[in-house]
Amino acid sequence: MAPATAARASAARDEGSDPEAAKLAVWKQALYDRVRETRRENDLFTQEDLTDLGVIPNKDKGLLLQVIQALSNDKLFVTFREASGQVCWKWRDEQEAHKYKQCANDEQAMVYSLVDDAGGDGVWSQTLQRRLNMNDTVLKNALKQLQIKGLIAPFKNVEHPNKKMYIKASIQPSDRATGGPWYTDQNFDEAFIEDLQKVIYDFIKKQSSYVSRHAAAGHDSSRTKVPKKGVLKGGESARGKKRDASEMADAPTSKAANKKSTASTPARTSATPVLLPLPAGYTKYPTVREIARLLSDSGVTNNTVLSGADVQKLVDVLVWDNLVEPVKVAGKIGYRVSRIAKQSAEGWAGRDDPTGREGGPAAYISAYTETPCGRCPVFDICEDGGPVGPSNCIYFTEWLGID
C-alpha cells in the first residue's frame, strides 16, 4: 500500500467515531478516484466540472467545497487561479502528494513546488529566491532540509555551468539540461560524435556503392591464358584426344622476350579497388532507422541510447558537409555517398588520425553552388528591372569583394 493511501486509511479509522467525518472521507476518496479516471493529471477542473462528475449527492456545493478543501489539505488537489479570476483544481499523484506532506513548513513546500514545476530542466537557486522573495538564510535552510529528505538534488546544467541548479531527486535531467548523448560529464564529447560520423559514413558508403578491381587495373595481357599444346597421354581411351579447353596454362615466353618486355614495359602493379555508383533504380540506400539499428547493434555508442532524432542530427551534419546526400527510395529518404567514384575504398573509421579528417572522404564542392546564384535566397524575384537583378546584386558585390 502506498504511503499516502496508508495514511488516508489510518485517518479514516480515526474518524470512524465521527459519522460526518467518515462520510466526508468516503466522498473525498470517491471524488479523487473519479477525477483520476476522467482526466489526465495536468487537466484543470472547475467547480462546475467537479459537480458534473455526479459524486457529490444532490450537487451540494457546500459539501463539494468541504471535499475539495480536504483533498487540498492532503496535497492531492492543487489550486490554480486563471487570468479571468476563476478558481480551478488539478489532481496530484498520491506518491507525489506524500512528498509534499514531508515538507515541514510552508517555506519548504513553496521551494519544493517550484523545483517540481521546473521538471527535468531544473531551477536556479537565484530564481527561487527572486520568485519567492525569501530571505537567503531561510532559502538555504529549506534547500538543505529538502536535500536531506531526498526530495531534491543539485545538478549541473550544460547551458548554465556556473549556476547552482536544483532538480527533483526522483527524475532524470532533460536532454536540454544534460546536453543529451553529445555530452559526457557536462563536457561536449566531440571525439564521440566524430567516431559515430565515421561509422555512419562507412556504412552508407558500403550500402551505396560496389567495389571494382577490374576498373582500376585494366586488362593485363601478360597474364593471358592459352590452351596447353599436345595431346593427352595414357591408355587407349585417352590416346589421340586433345586437351580440354579448361586446361589452361600461361603463354610461354622466351628469355629474350622477357628481357625485351622488361626493358620496354613499366612494371605492373596489383589491382587497386575502386568504388563505383549503383545503377539507377536501386532502392536499398540506408535510411535513418537502419543506421540507428546499426549503431545500436555495433556497440559503438558505449551504452548511450540514441533516438532516431539523434541519429538524424548526425546524418544531417554529413549532408551539410557534402559527404552524403539524401535520395528518395520507395517513399522514404535514404542516403548515399557524394561522388562515390572519388572516394577511397578504405574505411574511414578506425584510422589513427588526431584531426579526424586526414585521409577521410573528400567533400563535394560545386563551383555553381559556391557562387551567390547557386544559393541565392531571392532567386525567384531576380530579374533585370526587378527589385533584385544582376546589375545591383549585393551578394555578388560581397562575394567579389567590391566595395
- pLDDT digits over 230-249, tens only? 444 555 555 555 444 444 44
How confident is residue 227, by pLDDT bands cut at 50, 70 and 90?
Answer: very low
Nearest to 138, CA basis, from 110, 97, 96:
110
Same fold, 3-93 and 187-216+272-363: yes
Pairwise pLDDT comparison (360 vs 260), residue with the higher score:
360
Nearest to 47, CA basis, from 30, 29, 59, 34:
59
Is 156 exposed, middle or buried (CB count within 10 Å of its CB: 0-12, 13-18, 19+)?
Answer: middle
Average pLDDT for 25-45 = 85
Averaged pLDDT of the chain? 77
Give the model's pLDDT for residue 120.
87
Are 341 and 277 a contacting pair, CB within 8 Å? Answer: yes
Architecture of the structural domain at 187-216+272-363: Orthogonal Bundle (1.10)
Pairing of strands 209-212, 187-188: unpaired
- Cα 259–264–268 angle (5° rounding)? 90
Pairwise pLDDT comparison (227 vs 346), residue with the higher score:
346
Residue 16: pLDDT above 70? no
Query: What type of residue sits at position 340?
Result: I
- pLDDT digits over 272-326, tens only? 778 888 888 888 899 999 999 998 888 888 778 888 899 999 999 999 888 999 9
DSSP 249: E
Question: What is the CB neighbour count within 10 angstroms for residue 30?
Answer: 15
Which pTM was predicted? 0.52
Residue 203: pLDDT above 60? yes
Comparing 62-71, 204-213, 221-230, 285-294, the range with the smallest average pLDDT is 221-230
Q: Provide the residue ranges of all domains of the chain, joining segments of one domain with +.
A: 3-93, 102-178, 187-216+272-363, 367-400
DSSP 168: E
Longest CA span, the chain: 123
In angstroms, how far is the first alpha carbon of the chain from the final one? 78
Torsion of the alpha carbons at 344, 346, 350 and 352, rounded to the nearest 10: -70
Residues sharing a CB contact under 8 Å with residue 269, sequence separation 6 or more, in sequence order: 217
Average pLDDT for 42-69 = 87
Average pLDDT for 121-141 = 90
CATH class label, 102-178: mainly alpha
Residue 119: pLDDT above 90? no
Residue 175: pLDDT above 80? no
Residue 113: pLDDT above 80? yes
How confident is residue 336, by pLDDT bands cut at 50, 70 and 90?
Answer: very high
Give the model's pLDDT for residue 351.
55
3-state secondary structure of 270: coil
Q: In the chain, pLDDT over 70 holds for what percent of residues?
A: 74
How confident is residue 4, by pLDDT bands cut at 50, 70 and 90?
Answer: very low
Residue 383: pLDDT above 80? yes
Give the model's pLDDT for residue 218.
47
Residue 200: pLDDT above 90? yes
CATH class label, 3-93: mainly alpha
Give the model's pLDDT for residue 232.
47
**How far is Cα 172 from Cα 167, in angstroms, rounded to an integer?**
8
How confident is residue 219, by pLDDT bands cut at 50, 70 and 90?
Answer: very low
The three cell numbers of residue 158 are 550544460
Residue 90: pLDDT above 50? yes
Comparing 104-113, 142-151, 155-164, 355-364, the range with the smallest average pLDDT is 355-364
How confident is residue 152, by pLDDT bands cut at 50, 70 and 90?
Answer: very high
Helices (H), 102-228: 106-118, 125-132, 136-148, 175-178, 190-207, 214-217
Residues sharing a CB contact under 8 Å with residue 392, sequence separation 6 or more, in sequence order: none
The three cell numbers of residue 370 are 559556391
